[in-house]
Structure 1
Amino acid sequence: MKPNVISIVLGGGRGTRLNPLTLTRSKPAVPIAGKYRLVDIPISNCLNAGYNRIFVLTQYNSASLNSHIKNTYNFSVFEKGFVDILAAEQTNDGDKWYEGTADAVRRINRYLEAHEYEYILILSGDQLYQMDFQKLIDFHIEKNAKITLATIPVNAKDATSFGILKSDENDRITSFIEKPKTELLVDWSSEVSDSMKGQGREYLASMGIYVFNKHELLNLLETTDGLDFGKELIPHAIEHSDVYSFQYDGYWTDIGNIDSFFEANIGLTDDIPLFNLFDSNTIYSRSRMLPPSKYAGCLLDRVIVAGGCIINADKIERSVIGVRSRIGKGTVIRNTYMMGSDHYQNLDDIVAAQKANRPLVGVGERCYIDNCIIDKSACIGNDVRITGGEHIEDGDFETHTVKDGIVVIKKKAILPNNTVIGSK
């Protein structure tokens, strides 16, 4: 029989480092790979492991996330599975929003009381990875652990951004340090596989994925007033309880900023991507009744194209093209993630836009776009040139933002004909 597990997906905070993609949506609602949302990743990992009782905790800019979950995850009336949204709310016990990951779980505990479970799996809603949670839970049970942390080897440079831990020969965690400075890492290397060690990845970082025994979690939440798992409850538990490290050596990335988000999406176009969409493990998402994509006179090289697109471009290289994208004749697109559109323009809308000399939704004719993220439903006119790269300075503007040389066209932004951004 399957272990009795309930999963909680944390909706995340304001996600300011992902601005402008999070100006109107939460981080887990940000589109990835042209057709999914970030929150689909942890939910799919749960479903693939057979764990189908899932709560998603939401707070900031949650309307699109709530809508996506409601329209995506529907189970048969004969099943006990669910994916339910628990939004931050005012109650008689308090009127504050969630103040941290542990505080969020503490405040929704009254909803957990209605369910029977032995183990609780706590996940972040903004990470990209494929993990077999069945193996994680089996490890937790085999070790007779009270808490298990999923960990991943990282190098010294990355270690300063994570909680770093050490474990003994039985994988029991003995010490923990949060975001250590480089000079403090001398005594924190751990036993890792030869392949990880060859890459200089010898420090075990917490992935923000936790398994708790039910009573251990309730006891921690009741006897401590910490607001965050990583900063407060986990370090406390390591000193007073049996906490183990489940070492994961697959692909995992924390989508924390524009650069990591961009690289994660563009990396999907590699011949053998680190995150493989073409895998036996299904990534679940909203089903759309879209027509097949249509191409005319276009050369595609290492490109992922979602459904419902109309593409007349000259050439598209190493790019991800999202649902309902429209790209005009003579256009060249390189190293770009185009998220697509939520809706098609009907003929009346197109005629009205043309009469007003207003760009249509999508990318117009004879454009050149490189090193760019184009958010949903942006309108880019004809003869527009967008050239991201190290030569362009960071900044936030009305229609776009530049971060680390990546140009991010804002959602529903309108770029008139002949606009130039970042020309060398």
Structure 2
Amino acid sequence: MPKVLSIILGGGKGTRLYPLTKERSKPAVPFGGKHRIVDIPVSNSINSDFKQIYLLTQFNSASLHMHITSAYNFDRFSQGFVEILAAEQTLEHSGWYEGTADAVRKNFIHFKTRKPTHYIILSGDQLYQMDLRGFLDYHIQSGAQITIATTAVNRSDASGFGIMKVDKTREITAFMEKPAPDADISDWIIPDESRTPGAVQGKDYLASMGIYIFDAPILEEALDNEYTDFGKEVIPLAIKKYKVFSYIFDGYWEDIGTIKSFYDATIDLASVTPKFNFYDEEKPIFTKPRNLPPSKTNNAQMTRCIASEGCVITEASITDSVIGIRSVIERQSTLHGVVCMGADFYETEEEKAENRAKGIPNIGIGCNTHIKRAIIDKNARIGNNCLIGCCNPLPDCETAEYVVSDGIIVIKKNAVIRDHTVIG
């Protein structure tokens, strides 16, 4: 039987997701009300019965460590684990991870002791549900040494991805990194014999998803050099040297590595028919159990919303929003298109009184506050009679309490927005 190690790439500083990554690593960013981004690739691996999982990261990893430790505990008979490998100094190397390939290379000392037959490389900032077991079966049956998961895209989207050229058997013959919008790539169109049944009309090009399967000896050989990045260096050279095939994935897949893509994907979860399905009993998305009470709504009106555990929502009107754990939303407030990440703890009545005496709002959203098209990070304190995103669009900018990115207002973690504040 194949022995597979799953390697999840935690990414670098996560600057495109700033300020959500100001105090936490990208995989640790809260997602969908109660989960974190890292739960997606970890759950895909577990659901595919690949239970030996390494997560490579180096920036702001404390909260990620706490989440992984409390969320993923396997019994001793399963031989499963989820282990974080942060950048470390050894006698062989003393620097940070210099890129995705470099991160994997520097951890072979840990991987090889498991004696894997295959490595599966997963990204830590993508939203999808994939049968990785089927991916592996395809890799083995095709006789590939490397298999790259790809998704079909149209011409305009192709400029944002690494594009694969395949033959009739889906063997990859060439790679192009982000072709210019005016470049002629008509000879890179997917051959009819390689298209999946029910392929969408107009999606004629194969984009790399940044998900790979390597035969174990091939990965070790492909990284026996100084190259630091899979997508830009290792994969293009591997295509010339090894037998590399494309596994075409036709399900929902979204890169949530920017504020806009993260916001859009999160808000979509609250739609009537979301593109990503959290409600699949056979493919659950696992996370940390918190033992919180059910959410309580006191005469609140909620339309197309998700409310996580432990919330208290009183006489508020909420539409097209995702409400995170322990969120407190007070009377006469309205939220439209809001991602509220909630809180890490409840305040006591004594703490509330002490803070209000200093003019500091309670954690949560106060009375008669109106918010549109915003992300509210954890433990934010938003006072009474505030307007956020309700008046004039703001250019991209940053202040001590918030950031505006692509027109989306992001209230920072632990921010204090005092009564009567107007933002946009």
TM-score (norm 1): 0.97
Corresponding residue for residue 167 of structure 1 = 166
Partner residue of 2:124? Answer: 125
Query: Which residue of 324, 334, 343 maps to 2:326?
Result: 324
2:262 is aligned to: 261
Aligned partner letter, 2:208: S
| Structure 1 residues 345-364: aligned runs within 5 Å | 345-364=347-366
* Distance in structure 2 (CA, Å) of the matches to 1:155 and 1:378: 40
Q: Residue 389 of structure 1 contacts residue 405 of structure 1 at CA under 8 Å; is this kept in 2?
A: no
Q: Output the CA distance in 2 between the equivalents of 1:163 and 1:236.
A: 13
Residues 19-77 of structure 1, C-alpha deviation per residue, up to 9 Å, x if partnerless?
Answer: 11111111111110000000000000000000100001110111111111111111112
Q: Name which of structure 1's ranges 110-119 and 204-213 shifts more when overlaid on structure 2.
A: 110-119
Q: Is the counterpart of residue 310 in structure 1 residue 312 in structure 2?
A: yes
- Structure 1 counterpart of 2:375, one-letter code: I
Distance in 2, Cα, partners of 1:78 & 1:291: 32
Classify the secondary structure of the residue corresponding to 1:113. helix
Distance 1:377 1:314 in 2: 19
In structure 1, distance between residues paired with 2:391 and 2:230: 37
Q: Deviations over 1:65-99 (max 9, x none)?
A: 11111111111122211111111011111211000
Tell me the residue number matched to 1:17: 16
Partner letter of residue 262 of structure 1? Answer: Y
The 2-side partners of 1:343 and 1:349 are apart by 12
Distance 1:390 1:98 in 2: 42
Matched, 1:296 2:295: no
Deviation at 1:226, TM superposition (A): 1.1
Cross-structure match for 1:203: 205
Give the counterpart letter for 2:43 in structure 1: S
Partner of 1:55: 54
Correspondence for 2:97: 98
Provide the secondary structure at the position in 1 that maps to 2:144: coil
1:419 match: 421
1:141 counterpart = 2:140: yes
Is 1:66 equivalent to 2:62 in the alignment? Answer: no
Corresponding residue of 1:240: 241
Residue matched to 2:405: 403
Distance 1:388 1:188, change over 3 A: farther
Task: Report deviation, 1:193.
Answer: 4.4
**Larger deviation: 386-395 or 9-18?**
386-395
CA displacement at 1:354 relative to structure 2: 2.1
Report the CA distance between 1:145 and its aligned residue.
0.6
| CA-CA distance at 1:157 after TM superposition | 2.1
CA contact (8 A) 2:372 2:389 kept: yes
Letter in 1 for 2:111: L
Distance 1:221 1:388 in 2: 51
> Could you tell me how far 1:279 is from its partner in structure 2?
1.2
What pairs with 1:383-398 in structure 2 (closer than 5 Å)?
383-387=385-389, 391-398=393-400
Which residue of structure 1 aligns with residue 186 of structure 2? 186
Q: 2:316–2:329: 8 Å Cα contact kept in structure 1?
A: no
Deviation >3 Å, runs of 4+: 191-197
- Aligned-partner Cα distance in 2 for 1:390–1:91: 53
CA shift, 1:243, in A, is 0.2
The aligned counterpart of 2:79 is: 80
Q: In 1, distance between residues paired with 2:349 and 2:13?
A: 38
| Distance apart, 1:356 and its partner CA | 1.8
Other-structure match for 2:381: 379
Please name the residue that 2:33 is paired with.
34
Counterpart of 2:284, as a letter, is: T
- Residues in 2 aligned to 1:298 and 1:93: alpha-carbon distance in whole angstroms: 60
Secondary structure of the structure 2 residue equivalent to 1:295:
strand
Aligned length: 419
Distance in 2, matches of 1:367 and 1:51, equals 46
Over 3 Å counting, the alpha-carbon distance change for 1:117 and 1:388 in structure 2 is: farther
Letter in 1 for 2:322: V
Q: Secondary structure at the match of 1:377?
A: coil
- Which amino acid counterpart does residue 349 of structure 1 have in structure 2? E
Taking the aligned partners of 2:22 and 2:391, their CA distance within structure 1 comes to 23
Matched-pair contact (CA < 8 Å) for 2:166–2:173 = yes
**C-alpha contact (below 8 Å) 1:388/1:406 kept by paired residues:** no
RMSD of aligned Cα (Å): 1.3
Any gaps of 5 or more consecutive residues in structure 2?
Answer: none
> Between the two proteins, what is the percent identity of the paired residues?
47
Aligned to 1:270: 271
Q: What is aligned with 1:249?
A: 250
Structure 2: which amino acid aligns with 1:376? Answer: K
